Chains A and B, each alone.
Chain A
Amino acid sequence: MTNPSRREFLSQAGWWTLVGLGGAPAFSMLVSSCATTMTVTSKISTTIGVKTGAIDETKADAIQQNVAEAAKSFKDFTPEQEYYIGRAVAATILSQYSPYLEPDPNLYLNLLAQTLAQFSELPETFNGYHVLTLDSDEINAFSAPGGLIFVSRGMIRCCEHEDALAAVLAHEIGHVQYKHGLQAIRKSRITLAITTLAIKGVKGLGSEKLARLTETFEGSILDITSTLINSGYSRGFEKQADKAALDILDRTGYNPRGLVDMLNVMKKKLKPGGLDFAKTHPSPYWRIATLREYMAGYPKVEKKKARQDRFLKALEGV
């Protein structure tokens, strides 16, 4: 018997009903439109085009020297622009990973993330926070600017309770809140996007201007996705996101130790040389060590029955 809250959820997100309960045809149609997981570097370089970035860089540098306007930074992107950047980053991630379209885990993750976001420093983004599970055994999670978040099945399996899963999402919300994604964009591209092309071309962009602006856009998306998928953020950014996670967990009413619990499982599961968090994040050992000073005073995570039951039920089969 479907409980009332779940039914409400499903009718609200009619599409999930279609995908999850509407039978195999819809499901396979959606999945087949996405490539299965593959080596990321090659795909991105070819789809977006590294040479685009190089051209922009030269152009941008030249323009930068001639422009008398004040230097612009990632902070000058409006939430609206951040939204379009985030959608393109998310679309790129989905060209590398298949979504896992079971409704229960996805609905649960969205409920959890949107709850946590209300206790972050950035509860409101242009079009809100949304989460999608990736059908991958890798231990991975990404957040696109503006709040589109992806969590792999492998990552979910590192979580033994809701407080741990909340920590994964809170860490991603932390990256969104601090605009770490936007900070991965080369400064020259930002100048090009914000001061020069964009302002002059705001109304009725000519096709040439639109093409140039789109090249800058592609370059910016490449900057972000190659950071997310290949090189990873700096340790400083990761520490900041971990600290934000503790903050968000504590304010929401979760035990910040959920993050350490997750990292303790992750350190056992991560495979050296893997293309996931093994490559893009500081080691769980380092993260646990840097979090230690904040953990004093927090007891072990207590698995409350109702919370643990719903966690296990929603993620059954993941």
Chain B
Amino acid sequence: MADEPQKNKPGMLEKLKEKSLEGMDKVKSGYAVVEDKLLYASVQVRTGQVRIIPSFLGQVVAKLSYGDRVRVREKKGNWTRVTLPEAGADGWMHKSALTKKKIVLDPGAADVQEEATSKELALAGKGFNEHVEGEFKARHQDFDYFMIDRLEEIVVSQEQITRFLKEGGITPKEDKPFSPEGGVQ
């Protein structure tokens, strides 16, 4: 009798298995678990793009700044679905744009102390930063930072990339690892 409910729910075991794997994934990923097991991450690039689907081909629905904190909702391959705490907006970010650490943008003495021992904190502007670059430039006035600044201004849009692929007859195989057996499908 006791087995009855389980028999009626054939998917239960699978679900349980999924759940435990999910838990393991959380442990492995190392995302900070705080406040009722909510997971958070921070944007670790200058501009973080939030997309409507887990793909670079997805439309950008929001742009976040360095250090912005997001809530982690779901993971799919290299993509993380996040919600923005304030706006409540929802979308996908590539994992390379995120860190499990909390980024402190204007760190004070207490943050400095904590960072030395904690793995959950990163300080913005720490160490090699714009001040060091300024000093380095002053010492090497023949170095061409003007050119580097111009170089960084070249930005390619997603539309251009999509068109470039299409016009070149290039069909991406997203999320498929390289196979030594060959690429002929």
A residues bordering B, Cβ < 8 Å? 5, 8-9, 12-13, 15-16, 30, 33-35, 47-48, 69, 77-81, 84-85, 87-88, 90-92, 94-95, 99, 106-107, 110-112, 114-115, 118-119, 121-128, 130, 132, 148, 162, 193-195, 197-200, 202-203, 205, 210-211, 213-214, 217-218, 220-221, 246-247, 250-256, 293-294, 296-299, 304, 306-307, 310
Pick out which of these stretches binds chain A: B33-41, B82-90, B156-164.
B156-164
Contact B144 A91 (CB under 8 A): yes
Instruction: Scan B141-158; emit 1 where CB is below 8 A from any A CB, else 0.
Output: 011111110111111110
A34 engages B125 (CB within 8 Å): no
Distance in Å: Cβ of B174 to nearest Cβ of chain A: 7
Does A128 lie within 8 Å of B155, measured CB to CB? yes
6 more A-B contacts (CB under 8 A) besides A115-B165, A256-B178? A15-B153, A78-B126, A123-B56, A195-B116, A214-B135, A297-B182
A13-B153, A88-B136, A195-B116 as given contacts; A202 in contact with B123, CB under 8 Å: yes
Asked if B11 is at the interface of the complex by the 8 Å CB criterion, the answer is no
Q: Knowing A217-B136, A294-B180 touch, does A148 contact B151 (C-beta < 8 A)?
A: yes
Distance from B122 Cβ to chain A, minimum over Cβ atoms (Å): 5
CB distance from A38 to the nearest CB of B (A): 12
- C-alpha gap A256/B179 in the complex (Å): 11
A148/B148 in contact, CB under 8 A: yes
Provided the pairs A91-B148, A213-B127, A218-B136 are in contact, do residues A69 and B116 lie with their beta carbons within 8 angstroms?
yes
- B172 touching A119 by the CB < 8 A rule? yes
A175–chain B nearest beta-carbon distance, Å: 16
The answer for the CA separation of A89 and B17 in the assembled complex, in Å, is 49
Given A194-B127, A250-B173, A297-B184, CB of A33 within 8 Å of CB of B178? no
Closest A residue, CB atoms, query B172: A253
Report Cα–Cα, A125/B97, bound state, in Å.
7
Check if B160 sits within 8 Å of A9, measured CB to CB.
yes
Cβ–Cβ contact A253 & B126, under 8 A: no
Distance of A130 Cα from B90 Cα, bound (Å): 29
A85 to B130, CA, bound (A): 10
Chain B hits for A106, CB < 8 A:
154
Total number of A-B contacts with CB less than 8 angstroms? Answer: 217
Q: Specify the main secondary structure of chain A where it touches its partner.
A: helix
Q: Which of chain A's residues has its CB closest to B145's CB? A: A91
Whether A297 lies near B181 (C-beta < 8 A) is: yes
- Please report the total number of B residues contacting A with Cβ < 8 Å: 69
B170 touches A253 (CB 8 A): yes
Q: Does B26 contact A (CB under 8 A)?
A: no
Whether, in the assembled complex, B23 has its beta carbon less than 8 Å from a beta carbon of chain A, the answer is no
- The contact sample of 23 A-B pairs, CB cut-off 8 A, is A35-B142, A47-B140, A77-B128, A78-B122, A84-B133, A88-B136, A91-B140, A95-B142, A111-B160, A111-B161, A123-B94, A124-B48, A127-B45, A197-B127, A198-B128, A199-B116, A203-B108, A250-B178, A251-B172, A251-B178, A297-B181, A299-B184, A310-B168
- Answer whether A118 and B143 are a contact pair too, CB < 8 Å, given A106-B154, A297-B184, A298-B182: no
Does the CB pair A87–B161 fall under 8 Å?
A: no
Other-chain residue from A193, A214, A306 in contact with B139 (beta carbon distance below 8 A): A214
